[in-house]
């Protein structure tokens, strides 16, 4: 794939045609700036010149980056979901059948002296039955029963200071020791499981993201290697007229930057489109559960970070390849 | 300007290509390097241009021992030598102007100076007005003159030409030689590798002759 166009290739000035005023030093400073500006735009121009190749590379990279971002958002959304649940960490005390309501009231007084408890509510047998009828829809069946099978329940709400799992467990055990209490139940276990699943998902996301990031590094590196190969003649000539490696690698680093940048932007679009597609279903689902859950998109800072990260991965991948290849490449 | 002191070059696959080469080219001197093909002309050329390293011996360029120059110094040494090639080595997708401007851009010159120097160089080789052309639209002689303009645009103290007239007819070759003579007259050291005996004899300059890797005359 030698880029030799016989008749009339489009002009690609090596030297930027900017007007420069001032002395020798200023002239050189401007020359340096112009070199960068030129490398910046000409490298983009080269990518645009080969739309098919560029689209393939950028597409592959964008999908990798988008995958990582999607995993990240998935975990972030689940975390947000459990965050709303975590606040309801009450402990239910089911009293023994033999405990009378008067005894239960005494127990309430005793427990409410505990300064780890914020609130305690007594639900007597009749209330429990009424509540159960309403919530279960089994009122006909319950009417058929003789007597009331439900125990007295004390709903204990710990103070916010007790919201971590260990403190809650301690409180639960303390409450369990009252002789009147048949069972002190905490709806925490599933939450704990959930949290450990989230931690696992977070770790998995991190590992997958690192792998995908490495993939991005390798793909840009390989793209730059091919580009270097295609422009070998040019590189050799530049070396023969005294170009430093720094001079030679500059446009290639910018190519790496552009590839990373474009992939980052495309990845952002892919993620946003996926989220928009999910958005309606999630809102509907949330509505069904009377939840206040809203799908979390990439925030502004995260979007900027995504694009910055993919750009720097592009530069890093190119740099690694150039550092190695330019040392290998000798003029003859 | 250029001094070889007992230089040897051995390749693992080809054995000794240059054996005990010693010569001294003074500042402002013009000389030819000749010999049968395979005599080691190209290898000698590569050693001077720091494309390859000597196996033994020392090479002095512009007062410095360059035989052990670190890699990062090589670009700066090359800026002091104008290299000219048989196959011109021009960038086909760049204009004549950009080709000639390359050594200046590489050295970090500003646009003003580049523009002025490129014009001066093109004027010297008689190509002023062809800045915007592409190398392939030029004749062989003109392309070589672009190559020469590129070599001298940075005003290097030495010009090194490898078979510069190899692809040109005698008339064009003579023109190119006249150009080299002009550069020598303004103090540039010129070394031309060539096997065109007739041309060399006509020029009547110092001739370094290589034979099977040894310098037998000069």
Identify which of A27, A35, A330 has the shortest CB distance to residue B51: A330
pLDDT digits (tens, 9 = 90+) for A58-94: 999 999 999 999 999 998 888 887 766 655 567 888 8
Chain B residues close to A49, C-beta within 8 Å: none
Residue B126 pLDDT exceeds 80: yes
Q: Which two tokens stand for residue B171?
A: 């008339």
Strands A153-158 and A91-95: antiparallel
DSSP bridge partners of B209:
B34, B217
The candidate with the shortest Cα–Cα distance to A259, out of A38, A67, A48, A69, is: A48
Chain B residue with CA closest to A11: the answer is B94
pLDDT digits (tens, 9 = 90+) for A124-165: 888 887 777 776 667 777 777 777 778 888 888 887 776 677
Identify which of A8, A236, A241 has the shortest CB distance to residue B134: A8
Mutate to test the interface with A, among B96, B111, B162 (most CBs of A within 10 A): B111
Q: How large is the ipTM?
A: 0.91
User: In chain B, where does DSSP find H-type helix?
Assistant: 41-48, 74-78, 96-106, 111-124, 140-152, 170-185, 197-203
pLDDT digits (tens, 9 = 90+) for A184-223: 887 666 777 777 888 898 899 999 999 999 999 999 999 9
pLDDT the model gives residue A8 = 44
Kindly list the structural domains of chain B, giving each domain's residue range(s) and its CATH number in brackets, ordered by start: 1-80+156-218 (3.40.50.300), 92-155 (no CATH)
Q: With an 8 Å Cβ cutoff, is B134 touching chain A?
A: yes
Identify which of B51, B89, B107 has the shortest CB distance to residue A242: B107
Contact between residue B55 and residue B10 where contact means Cβ atoms under 8 Å apart: yes
CA distance B99 to B107: 14
Residue A12 pLDDT exceeds 50: no
pTM of the model: 0.74
CATH 3.30.70.3040 fits A89-186, yes or no: yes
Domain boundaries, given as residue ranges, for chain A? 33-84+193-328, 89-186
Test B83 with A241 for CB contact under 8 angstroms.
yes
pLDDT the model gives residue A225 = 93
pLDDT the model gives residue A88 = 56
pLDDT digits (tens, 9 = 90+) for A236-267: 999 999 999 999 999 999 999 999 999 999 99
Chain B residue with CA closest to A38: the answer is B105
């Amino acid at each position: 794939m030698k880029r030799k166009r016989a008749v009339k290739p489009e002009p690609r000035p090596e030297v930027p045609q900017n007007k420069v005023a001032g002395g020798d030093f200023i002239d050189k400073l401007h020359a340096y700036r112009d070199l960068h500006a030129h490398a910046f735009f000409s490298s983009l121009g080269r990518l645009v010149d080969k739309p098919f190749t560029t689209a393939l590379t950028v597409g592959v990279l964008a999908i990798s980056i988008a995958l990582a971002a999607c995993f990240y958002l998935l975990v972030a959304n689940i975390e947000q979901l459990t965050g709303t649940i975590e606040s309801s960490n009450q402990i239910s005390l089911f009293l023994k059948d033999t405990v009378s309501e008067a005894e239960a009231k005494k127990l309430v007084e005793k427990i409410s002296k505990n300064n780890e408890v914020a609130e305690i509510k007594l639900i007597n047998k009749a209330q429990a039955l009424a509540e159960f009828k309403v919530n279960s829809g089994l009122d006909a069946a319950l009417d058929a029963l003789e007597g009331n099978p439900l125990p007295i329940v004390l709903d204990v709400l710990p103070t916010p200071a007790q919201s971590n799992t260990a403190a809650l467990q301690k409180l639960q055990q303390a409450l369990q020791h009252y002789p009147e209490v048949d069972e002190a139940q905490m709806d925490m276990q599933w939450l704990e499981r959930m949290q450990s699943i989230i931690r696992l998902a977070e770790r998995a996301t991190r590992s997958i993201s690192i792998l995908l990031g490495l993939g991005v590094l390798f793909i840009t590196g390989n793209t730059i290697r091919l580009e270097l190969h295609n422009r070998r003649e040019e590189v050799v000539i530049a070396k023969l007229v005294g170009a430093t490696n720094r001079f030679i690698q500059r446009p290639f680093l910018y190519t790496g930057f552009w590839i990373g940048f474009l992939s980052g932007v495309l990845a952002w679009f892919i993620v946003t489109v996926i989220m928009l597609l999910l958005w309606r279903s999630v809102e509907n689902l949330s509505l069904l559960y009377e939840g206040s859950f809203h799908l979390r998109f990439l925030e502004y800072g995260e979007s900027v970070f995504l694009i910055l990260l993919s750009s720097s991965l592009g530069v890093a991948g190119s740099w690694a390849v150039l550092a190695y290849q330019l040392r290998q490449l000798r003029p003859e | 300007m250029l001094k070889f002191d007992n230089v040897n070059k051995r390749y693992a696959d080809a054995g000794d290509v240059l054996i005990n080469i010693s010569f001294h080219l003074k500042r402002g001197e013009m000389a030819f390097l000749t010999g049968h093909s395979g005599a080691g002309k190209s290898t000698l050329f590569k050693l001077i241009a720091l494309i390859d390293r000597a196996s033994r011996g020392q090479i002095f360029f512009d007062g410095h021992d360059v035989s052990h120059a670190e890699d990062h110094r090589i670009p700066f040494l090359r800026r002091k030598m104008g290299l000219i090639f048989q196959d011109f080595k021009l960038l086909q997708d760049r204009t004549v102007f950009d080709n000639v401007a390359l050594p200046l851009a590489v050295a970090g010159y500003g646009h003003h100076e580049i523009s002025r120097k490129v014009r001066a160089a093109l004027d010297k080789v008689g190509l002023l007005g062809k800045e915007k052309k592409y190398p392939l639209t030029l004749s062989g002689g003109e392309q070589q003159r672009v190559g020469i303009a590129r070599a001298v645009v940075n005003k290097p103290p030495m010009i090194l030409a490898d078979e510069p007239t190899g692809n040109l007819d005698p008339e064009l070759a003579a023109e190119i030689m006249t150009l080299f003579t002009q550069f020598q007259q303004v103090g540039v050291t010129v070394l031309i590798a060539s096997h065109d005996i007739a041309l060399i004899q006509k020029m009547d300059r110092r001739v370094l002759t290589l034979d099977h890797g040894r310098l037998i005359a000069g």
